[in-house]
Structure 1
Amino acid sequence: MMVMPRKRRKPVAEINVVPYIDVMLVLLIIFMVTAPLITQGVKVELPKASAEALAKDTNPPLVASVDAEGNYYLNQGTDPDVPISADEVATLVAAHLQVEPETPVMVNGDGAVSYNQIVQLMVLLQRAGVPSVGLMTDSADN
């Protein structure tokens, strides 16, 4: 019997990437589905230009304020120096907007107040029917 010499095979140096592509597609689908679920926020209309003062011919704005202790104030309908409850703010703003729907609504917050309290006031105003709010600022010169 004659023995045939065996040919040595060269090792194949290719990487099979098909399983990696499958894993990446699954991860892509998972991230696409979960991304909208984990994002939260408050809808705010951002200005399209630099901040400008309100025109003098517009209605005087409603100014809802929060002080450093978290007390709410409203410049119209009550004494502006007396704190009022969140329910009173919502009721007064909703009533004012039914009479004058074009009235701008501004949010004023103390520099020491937490961001959460400002957001809570904005949510309160949104529930009262305010379509958009403006944020009051001091000039940089002060």
Structure 2
Amino acid sequence: MTSMSSRRKKKRKLKAEINVVPYIDVMLVLLIIFMVTAPLLNLGVDIELPQSNAHPLEQKKEPIIVSLDKQGRMWITLQGAKNQPVTEEQMVAQVGAFVRNNKDVPVYVAADSDVAYQKVYDVLTALQTRANVPRAGLMSQQGESKQ
């Protein structure tokens, strides 16, 4: 009878362990999904759109300003130097070289209000992709408060 009772006790003994293999599988699948989708989320150009009643930012360095006039001609001002007309290729080369030597110099795009948005977007894209500018901002003038 003792042999029967010992068999029953061995069969009834419960394991207090959690099977974590399914959780690891789910975690790895989610990790792969996030790794694949994360680069797809950053498709646009990073810009900082100014507010109409924003106060000017304190800058330690003079900014690089790329200007567009009504006819779509491009001008560049490198840290307070004289405004000079440039083509898009010249602008990319000059700004790219300057940003490589001065990593945290601010870069702004100033466009006439009548310039097509596509032209401004093309300049921002060229600055970010070809000139390797980490962040480019848009310039505006202080407007009247609309209250």
TM-score, normalising length: structure 2: 0.60
Q: Which runs of 4+ in 1 moved over 6 A?
A: none
Local SS of the residue matching 2:61: coil
Structure 2's unaligned 5+ residue stretches are 1-40
Residue in 2 aligned with 1:140? 143
Letter in 1 for 2:137: G
Matches within 5 A, 1:10-29: none
Higher relative contact order (CA 8 A, sep 6+): 2
Q: Percent identity?
A: 24
Q: 1:123 aligns with which of 122, 125, 133?
A: 125
More strand by share: 2
Residue in 2 aligned with 1:86? 88
C-alpha distance in structure 2 between counterparts of 1:97 and 1:110, whole Å: 24
Residue in 2 aligned with 1:17? none
Tell me how far 1:134 sits from its aligned partner: 1.0
Q: CA RMSD in A?
A: 2.8
Structure 1's unaligned 5+ residue stretches are 1-38
Deviation per residue, 1:70-112 (Å, 9 max, x gap): 11111028741x4210000000001111111110100100011
Contact kept, 8 Å, 2:48 with 2:138, in 1: the verdict is: no
Residue in 2 aligned with 1:14? none
Contact kept, 8 Å, 2:48 with 2:136, in 1: the verdict is: no
Deviation per residue, 1:44-90 (Å, 9 max, x gap): 2547x98431214x11110011111011111028741x421000000
Matches within 5 A, 1:64-83: 64-76=66-78, 79-80=82-83, 82-83=84-85
Local SS of the residue matching 2:120: helix
C-alpha distance in structure 2 between counterparts of 1:40 and 1:119, whole Å: 16
C-alpha distance in structure 2 between counterparts of 1:75 and 1:132, whole Å: 17
Tell me how far 1:40 sits from its aligned partner: 9.7
C-alpha distance in structure 1 between counterparts of 2:56 and 2:104, whole Å: 17
Matches within 5 A, 1:49-68: 51-56=54-59, 58-68=60-70
